[in-house]
Each structure stands twice: as C-alpha cells, then as structure tokens.
Structure 1
Amino acid sequence: MKVLNIKNLVVAGATVVLMTGCQSTGSKTGDSALLGAGAGAVAGQLIGGSTGATLGGAVIGGALGAAYGDSQEKK
C-alpha cells in the first residue's frame, strides 16, 4: 500500500487548481465537470498509481462534478 504524504497531496491539489483555474465552459455544469475530472484523475493516480486508476478517478470525478454543477444551475 502506498503512503500518501502531505507534500504529494498539496502538489497534486495545486496542479489541479492551476490547470483548471483559467478554463471556463460558460456553464456551472461544464466547469464543475472539468474541475471534478482533474481532481479525480489526481486522486486516482495518488491512490491507485496506475493509468486505469487515473482514468477511473477522472470519470468518477467528472460525473460527480457535473452532477454538482447541474444542481447549482437549477437554483
């Protein structure tokens, strides 16, 4: 089992924020899906350490982000 240290988590989080911070799709659903996919990909890589885990994390994060953004648009 991999040991996650705080430095890796901070670097991964900063990477997600920097990569998605300037992107906008014009909708909360799209923006949230982008952010969720990025965060999920980083989390999948940190936890699973493989390409499959990264892709799975991106898919799950993107879906959760889109669902959250959609709920915010409907308010």
Structure 2
Amino acid sequence: MKPIAILLLAAAAGLAMTGCGDTSRARVATGTGMGAATGAIIGSFSANAGTGALIGAGVGALGGVLVDEHARGSFSN
C-alpha cells in the first residue's frame, strides 16, 4: 500500500473512532489515543515513531475537541 493511502486510511479511522465517546473527556481521550497510535505507526516508516506519536496525539486531541463541539451543536449555522 502506498504511504499516502495508509495515511488517509489511518486518518479516517482516527476520526471515526473519535466520535465513540459519550462525554467531552471520552471523545478527547479517544482521539488522543487513536492519534498517538496512528502517528506512531506512520512515524515508524521513517524511524521516528516517538515524534509521530506526539504529533498524532496532538492532532487526535484536536479532532476529539472538534467532534465534541460538533456533537454539542457549537457549529450550527
């Protein structure tokens, strides 16, 4: 599989799993965990699993916050 395909698949899985929580804390925690795992996997391709995990955790936490805000209706028109 091409690296870009792996990245897109991992990002889609991470976003899908971010919405699994019922509370704000659960959504952010799930996003952070999935982001860290995905980042570590992607980072391991370039021998930087730790850096990838840190970046992925940050992106996953942001995704969890955004999904939580959407679920609470903060992004209504």
The alignment's TM-score, normalised by the length of structure 1, stands at 0.59
Instruction: Name which of 31, 40, 43 aligns with 1:45.
Output: 40
Distance 2:69 2:24 in 1: 5
Residue aligning to 1:70:
69
Counterparts of residues 5-16 of structure 1 (less than 5 Å): none
Equivalent pairs: percent with the same residue? 22
State the Cα RMSD in Å: 2.5
Scaled by the length of structure 2, the TM-score of the pair is: 0.57
- Matching residue of 2:6: none
Q: Extract unaligned runs of 5+ from structure 2.
A: 4-12
> Structure 1 30/66 Cα, relative in aligned 2: closer, same or farther at 3 Å?
same
Number of aligned residues: 54
